[in-house]
Amino acid sequence: MTADLVIEAEGLVKTFGKTKALQGVDLAVPRGTVLGVLGPNGAGKTTAVRILSTLLPPDAGTARISGFDVVRDAERVRRTIGLTGQYASVDEDLSGRQNLELFGTLLELGRAGSRRRAVELLEWFDLTAAADRPAKTYSGGMRRRLDLAASLVGSPDVIFLDEPTTGLDPAKREDMWDVVRSLVTNGSTVLLTTQYLEEADALADAITVIDHGRVIAYDTPEGLKRVVGGQTLEVRPSDPAHLSRIAAILSEVGSGAQADEIRKGVLAVPVTDDAALTESVARFAAAGIAVTELSLHLPSLDEVFFTLTGRTASEDDTTSLKEVAA
């Protein structure tokens, strides 16, 4: 393998009672990159993160962070990682500032250092105004930012983000994406789990798709999109009478594929590159057709799974999520 892998896992296995959470998972993340781990509820994403962040020993397999074994050198691993996720939260009775200062003390930053770092992170995450309120009074987005800030107190090399945007509205999600991008700009290596291909595509250098505790795909976002069918262009004309003319234009723009009416009054066609969007805009304008909606979509997780496994990422796994959490 190449020299500078910051996160390396080979053959991770973890079983909880009858639930096989992980059945031999390999992961590799080079320095300064983002790996997106994509999968439905119960796929084993959280279990993998818990093993990599030393919270849980694997039943079999090995994992190293910055060259340190997560079991034998757990202590050193803990000094280089930051963990944010459903299960690594802050103390709700403490204020944002008190939480950050507590973690600073635990990370040996000293009293002045902890205080300074807390001020810096509160500022950075736009929490200064709420700094001295108990965390339980924070909104969902603020809580998420504080959770993330708490994992950055020690300026970690490696950051684990377990579903960082689940439950956030689209605007807050984009804010969170900006944060992740700037972390990488600053040299951190990030492993993030997500249920959204869109999120993995926006942030990740590589994507590992996990299903039932197994890796079913590992590729760049472009490679994965090629496999699962790339993007879909969706158009809703102002006047439904224009549907057939639009269908004709879309077929030409979208590399010959037939446009389908996926919802009433909405046509969709698979496209291979982003230029299709601008081209179709120009063509509609030239033809004098007004549209009320025009958008590019990546396949949903369900569609990805259907392509990769021949079945949908069904909800049959919600129970095993609880088991994994236990």
Partner 1 sequence: MSTLVAPPRTTNAVLSTAVPNPRPFRLVRHSMALAKRSLIKTWRTPEALIDVTLQPVLFLVIFVYIFGGAVAGSTHDYLQFLLPGILAQTIATGAIAIGVNLNTDIAKGIFDRFRSLPVPRSAPLVGAVLGDVVRYVIVTVSTLAIGYLLGFRIDSDPLRAIAGCLLAVLFALCLSWLPVFVAMKVRTPGAVQGLMFALIMPLSFASNVFVSADTLPGWMQAFVDVNPMTHLVAAVRGLFLGTPVGSHVWWTLAWCAGFVALFMPLALRAYRKKI
The answer for residues whose C-beta is within 8 angstroms of residue 307's C-beta and 6 or more apart is 227, 228, 229, 299
Identify whether the C-beta of residue 189 lies closer than 8 Å to the C-beta of residue 7.
yes
Q: CB-wise, 18 or 75, nearer to partner 1?
A: 75
Exposure string (b/e) for 35-54, b if CB count within 10 Å is 16 or more? bbbbbbbbbbbbbbbbbbbb
Nearest to 29 by CA among 13, 52, 45: 52
Q: Is 47 in the site for partner 1 (CB under 8 A)?
A: no
CB atoms within 10 A of CB 287: 12
CB of 125 to partner 1, least distance (A): 7
Q: According to the binding rule CB under 8 A, does residue 15 interact with partner 1?
A: no
Helix (H) or strand (E) holding 224: helix 221-228
Q: Which is nearer to partner 1, 103 or 305 (CB)?
A: 103
> In which element (H, E) is residue 248 found?
helix 243-253
105 binds partner 1 (CB under 8 A): yes
DSSP 85-116: BTTB---TTSBHHHHHHHHHHHTT-HHHHHHH
Question: Per-residue string for binding with partner 1, 107-146, x by CB under 8 A?
Answer: xxx---x--xx--xx-xxxx-------x------------
Helices 243-253, 275-287: axis angle to 10 degrees equals 140
Among residues 19, 41, 54, 195, the one that binds partner 1 under rule CB under 8 A? 54
- Out of 15, 23, 62, 86, point to the residue binding partner 1 (CB under 8 A): 86
Among the residue ranges 185-193, 206-214, 289-297, 298-306, the one whose residues contact partner 1 (CB under 8 A) = 185-193
Per CB under 8 A, 89 contacts partner 1: yes
Cβ closest to partner 1, residue 179 vs residue 281? 179
Nearer to partner 1, 79 or 236 (CB): 79
Query: Smallest distance, Å, CB 286 to partner 1?
Result: 38
Instruction: Decide if residue 184 touches partner 1 (CB under 8 A).
Output: no
Q: How far is the CB of 129 from partner 1 (least distance, A)?
A: 12
Interface with partner 1: number of residues (CB under 8 A): 53
Please identify, using beta-carbon distances, which residue of 74 and 257 lies nearer to partner 1.
74
- For residues 184 and 32, give the distance between their C-alpha atoms in angstroms, rounded to a whole number: 6
Buried b (16+ CB within 10 A) or exposed e, 103-140: bbeebebeeeebbebbeebbeebebeebbeeebeebee
Q: With residue 284 as reference, give the H or E element that holds it.
A: helix 275-287
> Is residue 53 part of the contact set for partner 1 (CB under 8 A)?
yes
CB of 75 to partner 1, least distance (A): 6
Tell the residue number behind the tokens 């930012």, with chain if given. Answer: 145
Instruction: Please pick, from the candidates 10, 59, 69, 91, the single residue that binds partner 1 as defined by CB under 8 A.
Output: 91
Residues 219-278 that bind partner 1 (CB under 8 A): none
Q: Site residues (CB under 8 A) for partner 1?
A: 53-55, 66, 75, 78-81, 83, 86-94, 98, 102-103, 105-109, 113, 116-117, 120-121, 123-126, 134, 150-152, 154-157, 175, 178-179, 182-183, 185-188
